[in-house]
Amino acid sequence: MKKIILIILTITAILSCKKYEDGPVISLRTKKMRLINKWKINETQKYINKSQPTNNTDTTYQSISANYIQFENHNIYSTPNDTGQWEFYDNKNKIIITLNQDKDTFKILRLKNKELWLQANTDTGKIEQHYIQFE
Domain segments of the chain: what residues? 2-133
* Partners of 34 in beta bridges: none
Mean pLDDT of the 29-45 span: 88
Chain-wide mean pLDDT for the chain? Answer: 79
The fold for domain 2-133 equals: Lipocalin (2.40.128)
**What pLDDT sits at residue 87?**
97
Q: Is the peptide bond before 24 cis (omega within 30 degrees of 0)?
A: yes
Supply the DSSP symbol for 52. Answer: S
Dihedral of the CA atoms 50, 56, 59, 62 (nearest 10)?
90
pLDDT tens, residue by residue, 105-134: 999 999 998 999 999 888 878 888 889 998
- What local confidence, expressed as pLDDT, does residue 61 receive? 47
Q: What would the pLDDT profile of 56-110 be if each residue is shown by its tens digit?
A: 544 444 445 567 899 999 999 998 888 999 999 999 999 999 999 899 999 999 9
* DSSP at 5: H
